[in-house]
Structure 1
Amino acid sequence: MPIIFGPHDCGSTTREWLVTDGTGGFATGTVPGLRTRRYHSLLTVADPATAIRHTALAALDLTVTLPSGTKVPLYTHEWASGAVAPEGHRYLETFALVDGVPRWRWRVGDVVIERELAMRHGHPSVGVTHRVVSAPGPVGLAVAAMCTWRDAHTERHASGPALRAEQVADGVIVEQAYRIAGPGWQPAGEWHLGAYAREEQARGLPAVEDLWHAGTYFARVNPGASMEISAWAGDLGLRPPPATAVITEARARARRLVAAAKADETLVLAADTFVVRTPDGPDVVAGYPWFGSYLGDTMTAYEGLFLDTGREDEGRELLITRTENAPLTWTPPRDSPDAPLWLVHAVDRHVRRTGDSDLAASLIEPLGRLLGERLGGAGPLDLDPGDGLLRLREGFIDSATPRVGKPVEINALWVNALAAMADLHVEAGLDDASLRARHARARDAFLDRFRAPEGWLYDVIEGPAATYPLGAGAHHDDPTLRPNQLLAWSLPHGPMRGSSFFAIGEALLTPLGLRTLAPSEYGYQGVHRGGRDERDIAYHQGTVWPWLIGPYADACAAAGLPTDGLLTGLKAHVSEWGVGSVSETADGDPPHRATGSPFAARSVAELLRAEQRYEP
């Protein structure tokens, strides 16, 4: 179903839209069109070799000339002076997201103008149409191309190197990197100084840049007719299909995806934005607009993104590529200590749900080699020969959230991985008694060591006393109430699966997911705001993670507890912030305002997966 906002909500700069090109590039912005982030643009291009993104076409500023001759700007910018000018968003009648395609509708009396845009899947290309829906006669449309070319995580200024622009008959080629084409091109060539991005200021980052007005497209358009503009990177001499055709195909592709998935269409289309194809095969972007690809996030999201959307073949290719090409040594920051354990889980879920015994047979050897090399080598994890559990070494984690010792979630994943590996051997027509024995030993050790007297599980056992000042002796078992322990109940082979649990929901559950720390615990941070340091501390100290709703629902179902209503808040959130998607994080305190990335792969994947299982 389409998501539609009326005039009141169209003014909200907290709602953002996103379209993607399937290669890692994207277009994104706020519903009213105000650029509040350095990442907001109509064309951001991903380098196919490095995956580094560059911001290209920052904006297309539309001004309409009414039949009376009056000129009305329909765009808006915020400036370093504090001014918001012009205020074209005041004329927005509706914003709609239909089949994943955003549509703006402005009304100036009896003149109605619509803009739509879509990206050409598999190509760094965007098509934008401006249609005169109704008017008493022809109207003039002027669209100013506001340009830059920079790393998406930075800014560009007039005081720096000049922006190289080559004028061509129907537009401009910028930095020999991208081209813009449309009707009635009139070159310009001037900097607009002091464009301000309020969200970057709020995050403690540079918030001011300059934009290059490359020129303006002009057309006189009759009611019912359209003006089209295209922008693309790659082969600049190879013109993409017309913008109307790009939008039509984007809609058709969206309908094909929904039909194949037979799931919530909004979440299916949201899931699609994260699945990209690189020269090495399929991959997953962890979140937009600033995240790249990370093995742990990819495999945590795997089941929802691929198995619940009818993309098993693509997923199979991804599993093979990421398993066979996974580095045997830890490679931060694109890797996390638990990433190989999530990879085993993803392969196990694929085989369980598809019956693909050939995949099991082909991957058990490289998976076993990966686990063997990652444990006890130069990486962050050691296998304790005494009890068969995993220890996280010092120096491999953020000092704001100490996890040195034996963390509960890593060892729940480890117990799960041992059982999964044993099952994969059986699926492949083999059996490994030693794996069964190792699993039983680790499971028993987990059950013996992680039960805390408070009634839940220790968050970390055998942590150094220096790290946990309240501890005594050489080691300390930390009973801090966090959601990490949920994996022990939720994973298919989790050591606590099926047993009862309490306190977790009462202290941690919110309408948008689970808090990362109970409010009653020392160090709780109920707001995930401020500069980078403040946000990094709060991230694990009370901030809500929406993706954890999936493990929580699994744990409830396995223990025979009700799951009714668990997803209500998150399903409503789909139209609150990242329109049609789910945010990375939210404040721990009510009303749980969304924070972090507005479009997060794990959050979408786990909501989609949980909805398929518990709200069919």
Structure 2
Amino acid sequence: MTERGTIPSPGYEGGCGMEWLVANGLGGYASSTAVGANTRAYHGLLVSAVDTPADRRLLLSSLDEEAKVGADGRESFQLANHQYPGAVYPRGYAHLQEFAQDPLPRFSYRLGEAEVEKTVFMLPGENSTLVRYCLGGQGEIAVRPLVHCRNFHSASPLPGFSPEQVEGGVRLHSELSFYILSDRASYMPEELRFYNLEYQEEQRRGLAWTEDCYSPGCFRLSWKGEESFAILASTTRSSMPDAAACWECERERAWSLQAPVTGLARAADSFLVRRGRGHSIIAGYHWFNDWGRDAMISLPGLLLSTGRFREARETLCTFAGAMQGGIVPNDLGARSYNTVDASLWFVQAFHQYYQLTGDRELLQELWPSLNSIVQAYTRGTSVARMDQDGLIVSQAGMTWMDARVDGEPVTPRAGKCCEINALWYALLRALSLYAPELGVEWDDELMHRVKKSYRRFWNDDAGCLYDVIDPQDPSVRPNQ
């Protein structure tokens, strides 16, 4: 990949190994590979967030293009790529000259004497994807949408669809209703079913990996010279926007994003999502919701280093508002509170925010929440309790190593964990600094007790910390 994110002729295997994603700030996204082949059940051109930022549904799986070029249209080129049992068909990757993200995903095809360029982007704050085509030469292009309507987590049986032809395209009624429209291409109904589409990444993971897709019809356009048109897939828009203006606006927005590492600015932006009237942070694509631990660890990098202080403030308020008994949720969408460290990372994220902004108003607003964390951990909760030495004892499976099999934690880490107690000390130290600013009485005795007790973590033989003490575990893990 070049400095501006261009990959010349990646080939099928190479292209399938490189994935792209654009998001809409709601938890919805469009995502596929550098050759446009869907290798995951999570891939698709419109994955809609029904209950922002959760309950995501795959609606538009792909757009299959076929171009007949030249004055007589004798040369035909298919641009799609689908993995079927034992075969890839069509083989659009053979005509792909380059894939680029500059800054939006762009596919450039050479078709004899003609050229087709396809750019994919989403409209911010909408479950709407625009695919813009720029054409050169002469010919006729047909674009066929392949759709589904399912939870994005797994390949599933195809539900029923009821197509309704509308101005500019079609409205599809299934478990959800959505539109597929074009500004210039004419829509022609022609229902087809595509059988046994395979997702090789899901096969590798041992999950459901085969499904069918439905196509209600296709869009057709004849062109000569340099022309452009667009396809819209949307749960809300019943008419086409100005695709060229939307493309330019989203390009400018994407290029305007700032980050210490320039190439990461747009990636960082995709993790920020709306939740209610505020913001939150998606823990990871494709399958995660907004998780407390992940959000608080990543907030300084995603939002503070990029200068997005307003969104950082709103994210902190979102998680503070979801606290129960001094515990920040592990999974905000599921309202699960089975984590010992999310609350501690919350204080770390706020502390870094406060150091950069000096936001006294937010400190005053969040002080009861910050203090409630101390009270919860000193009293004891379902996830942790404080011992007489001031150190925090974690219950089994409540740290970052929380994977479970048949309900049992794979790595329990029950006891006094090194990073949990480092965060505990950092929390107490931060609050000891805030209290005088707010004119609140604060006793530093517990902070000093924790500092003294923490020396027990040092493993002189190994030259590093014990991972857990009481009981002692000398394992070396990345949390050190």
Partner Cα distance (2:52, 2:21) in 1? 23
Partner of 1:73: 78
Residue 285 of structure 1 pairs with residue 282 of structure 2: yes
Distance 1:59 1:112 in 2: 20
Structure 2 residues not aligned, in runs of 5+:
none
Q: Equivalents in 2 of 1:352, 1:426: separation in Å?
A: 15
Deviations 1:291-347 (A, max 9, x none): 110011100001111111110112112212321332227655555320000000011
Shift of 1:128: 0.9
* Contact 2:132/2:243 (<8 A) preserved: yes
Q: Distance in 2 between matches of 1:456 and 1:256?
A: 43
* Equivalent position of 2:465 in the other structure: 457
Checking the alignment, whether the CA contact within 8 Å between 1:92 and 1:105 is kept in structure 2 is yes
The residue number in structure 2 matching 1:153 is 153
Q: Is the 8 A contact 1:361 1:427 kept in 2?
A: no
Matching residue within 216, 219, 222 for 1:220: 222
Is the Cα contact below 8 Å between 2:61 and 2:148 reproduced in 1? Answer: yes
* More displaced stretch, 24-33 vs 276-285: 276-285
Separation in structure 1 between the aligned mates of residue 155 and residue 66 of structure 2, nearest angstrom: 26
Deviation at 1:393, TM superposition (A): 1.7
In the TM superposition, what are the counterparts of 1:44-59 in structure 2 within 5 Å? 44-48=47-51, 51-59=54-62
CA contact (8 A) 2:459 2:474 kept: no
Q: Which residue type is aligned with residue 417 of structure 2?
A: P
Equivalent residue number for residue 140 of structure 2: 140
Counterpart position of 1:207: 209
Q: Distance in 2 between matches of 1:47 and 1:452?
A: 53
Q: Which residue of 2 aligns with 1:524?
A: none
TM-score (norm 2): 0.91
User: Which residue of structure 1 lines up, in the alignment, with residue 438 of structure 2?
Assistant: 428
Give RMSD over aligned pairs. 1.9
**Structure 1 position 439, deviation (Å):** 1.1
Q: CA deviation at 1:225?
A: 0.5
Determine helix, strand or coil for the equivalent of 1:402: coil
In structure 2, the partner of 1:2 is 4
CA shift, 1:484, in A, is 1.4
Corresponding position of 2:246:
246
Alpha-carbon distance change, 328 to 243 in structure 1, aligned in 2, over 3 angstroms: farther
Match of 1:525 in 2: none
Aligned residues: 457
In the other structure, the counterpart of 2:187 is 185
CA 1:29–1:8: 2 relative to 1, 3 Å: closer
The one of 290, 294, 298 equivalent to 1:301 is 298
Segment of structure 1 superposing worse, 350-359 or 267-276: 350-359
Give the drift of 1:359.
Answer: 2.0
8 Å Cα contact 1:114-1:130 kept in structure 2: yes
Structure 2 counterpart of 1:98, one-letter code: D
Structure 1 pair 421–233 and aligned structure 2 pair: CA distance change class (3 A): same
What code does the residue aligned with 1:244 have?
A
Name the structure 1 match of 2:87.
83
Q: Partner of 2:54: helix, strand, or coil?
A: coil
Distance apart, 1:452 and its partner CA: 4.4
- Residue 376 of structure 1 deviates from its aligned partner by 4.3
What are the Cα deviations for residues 387-445 of structure 1, in whole angstroms up to 9, with x where unaligned? 0001112364442212011111111111111111212223434451x1x2211110110
- Residue 334 of structure 2 is aligned to residue 339 of structure 1: no
Q: Which residue number in structure 1 is paired with residue 44 of structure 2?
A: 41
Residue identity opposite 2:160 in structure 1 = A
Q: CA deviation at 1:372?
A: 2.1
2:333 corresponds to 1:366: no
2:94 is aligned with 1:94: no
Task: Answer whether contact 1:119 1:246 (CA < 8 A) is retained.
Answer: no
Q: Would the aligned equivalents of 2:397 and 2:411 in 1 still touch at CA under 8 Å?
A: no
- In the alignment, which residue of structure 2 is the partner of 1:264? 261
Does the 8 Å CA contact 1:341/1:414 hold for their aligned counterparts?
yes
Query: Residues of 1 paired with 2:319 and 2:262: CA distance?
Result: 28
Give how far 1:250 is off: 0.7
Q: Take 2:51 and 2:207, find their aligned partners in 1: how far apart are those partners? A: 27
Shift of residue 157 of structure 1?
2.2
> Percent sequence identity over matched residues?
32
Does residue 413 of the first structure (1) align with residue 408 of the second (2)?
no
Q: Within the alignment, does 1:478 sit opposite 2:473 as a pair?
A: yes
Q: Are the structure 2 counterparts of residues 409 and 220 from structure 1 closer, same or farther at C-alpha, using a change threshold of 3 Å? A: same
**In structure 2, do the counterparts of structure 1 residues 5 and 208 end up closer, same or farther at CA, with 3 Å as the change threshold?**
same
Measure, in 1, the Cα distance between the counterparts of 2:235 and 2:25. 14
| SS of equivalent to 2:214 | strand
- Alignment-mate amino acid for residue 42 of structure 2: Y
Shift of residue 8, structure 1, vs aligned partner: 3.5
User: Which residue in 1 is equivalent to 2:168?
Assistant: 170
- In 1, the alpha carbon distance for the partners of 2:252 and 2:397 equals 50
* Partner SS, residue 47 of structure 1: strand
Unaligned runs of 5+ in 1: 464-476, 486-616
Corresponding residue for 2:112? 109
Tell me the distance in 1 between the aligned counterparts of 2:389 and 2:377: 18
Deviations 1:217-272 (A, max 9, x none): 000122210121111113x44x35232222111111113323xx5x3322111110
- CA distance in structure 1 between the aligned counterparts of 2:243 and 2:423, rounded to whole angstroms: 47
AA aligned to 2:250 is A
C-alpha separation in 1, matches of 2:47 and 2:217: 19
TM-score, reference length from structure 1: 0.71
Q: Which residue of 2 aligns with 1:526?
A: none
Q: Which amino acid aligns with 2:286?
A: P
Contact 2:53 2:274 in 1 (8 A): no
Residues of 2 paired with 1:247 and 1:375: CA distance?
54
Amino acid at match of 2:94: R
Aligned partner of 2:122 in structure 1 is: 119
Distance 1:72-1:186 versus aligned 2 partners, 3 A rule: same
- Answer yes or no: is the 8 Å Cα contact 2:98–2:109 preserved in 1: yes
Give, in whole Å, the separation in 2 of the partners of 1:420 and 1:250: 40
Q: How does 1:318-357 map to 2 (within 5 A)?
A: 318-328=315-325, 333-334=331-332, 335=337, 336-357=339-360
2:447 is equivalent to residue 439 of structure 1: yes
Residue 123 to residue 339, structure 1, CA distance change in 2 (3 Å): same
Structure-2 separation of matches of 1:186 and 1:296: 49
The residue aligned with 1:379 is 382
